[in-house]
A = this chain, B = another copy of it.
């Protein structure tokens, strides 16, 4: 599998010497998942971070009434994990599923710790990655209570531009926190207006 996308992803934030690059690549495992495959189930333990090369993953929870709530998507170039479980070793809160046939690089938590020991600047890489992710979740939490659904949809479009026309509408509706019916009406109204 192609290592160029994950190396480009890392190099956006830290410089890598050839030996550091080799140490990193030696710790990655390639993996394929079929569309709809469940890569992590809530209640299980998340032991790895996934970097998407092709395809798309989503993370979601299922509430007491059986309804799904999408937390995030990972198109190519994005990382995905249940960070709570990964960090604490406790039961995962999230399900992670492939929305399409997906190719990814897998970095297990033990291998990530090995990486930190061998190439400490990866602490910096993951710190910045997590900082950026934290900022986006803070903003989404505020948006959820302060912005109308239409503006939350526009933010989704700028956050995940590659997904606007490829994802099933019900997945986007769940991400922005509205019913598929409401989303469909809102989107029609937006398209008429454009």
State which of B69, B120, B131, B140 has its C-beta within 8 Å of the C-beta of A130: B131
CA distance A32 to B31 in the complex (A): 53
Quick check: B139 and A141 within 8 Å, CB to CB? no
Q: Which residues does A use to contact B, with CB under 8 Å?
A: 61, 63, 69, 71, 83-84, 87, 93, 116, 120, 123-124, 126-128, 130-135, 137-142, 144-146, 177
Residues of B within 8 A of A123 (CB): 120, 123-124, 127
Residues of B within 8 A of A134 (CB): 83, 130, 133-134, 137
Residues of B within 8 A of A120 (CB): 120, 123
Other than the known A61-B146, A134-B134, A141-B144, what 19 A-B pairs have Cβ atoms closer than 8 Å? Answer: A61-B142, A63-B146, A69-B142, A69-B145, A83-B134, A87-B132, A93-B142, A120-B120, A123-B124, A130-B134, A133-B134, A137-B137, A137-B138, A140-B141, A141-B141, A144-B144, A144-B145, A144-B177, A145-B177
Residues of B within 8 A of A145 (CB): 69, 144, 177
Quick check: A87 and B146 within 8 Å, CB to CB? no
Residues of B within 8 A of A124 (CB): 116, 123, 127
The 15 listed contacts between A and B (C-beta, < 8 Å) are: A63-B146, A69-B142, A69-B145, A83-B131, A83-B138, A84-B135, A84-B138, A123-B123, A123-B124, A124-B127, A127-B127, A130-B131, A134-B134, A134-B137, A145-B177
